[in-house]
Amino acid sequence: NEDELANQNVKVYPTIVSDGLNVETSLNNSQMKVRIYDMNGKVIISENMASSLHTVDVTALSAGSYIIIIQDPFNLIARYRFIKQ
């Protein structure tokens, strides 16, 4: 499963967050994109990763559940759910 393969190479933490959501990868991140979606599927934040540890500022998000999707240059997708406090 491609999702499982990609998830092994990407860590997202913490799962309950108030300010900064960390995305860490061991993959070549030069073309990786990070997108945060609300539970209706709308893209709320879209950023390019600049290093192997990227922090997404989520302070402007309303409290609730969100999905973060990380796409690498090979189109493998890692998908995580997190909660904004």
Q: What's the whole-number average pLDDT of the chain?
A: 88
Residue range(s) defining the domain that contains residue 30: 2-84
pTM of the model: 0.85
Q: Is 8 or 42 the better-scoring residue by pLDDT?
A: 42
Specify burial of residue 37 (Cβ count, 10 A radius: 0-12, 13-18, 19+): middle
Number of domains in the chain: 1
Domain at 61, CATH number? 2.60.40.1930
Residue type, 2: E
Q: Average pLDDT of 31-59?
A: 94
Q: Is the pLDDT of residue 19 over 50?
A: yes
Q: Read off the pLDDT band of 6 (50, 70, 90).
A: low
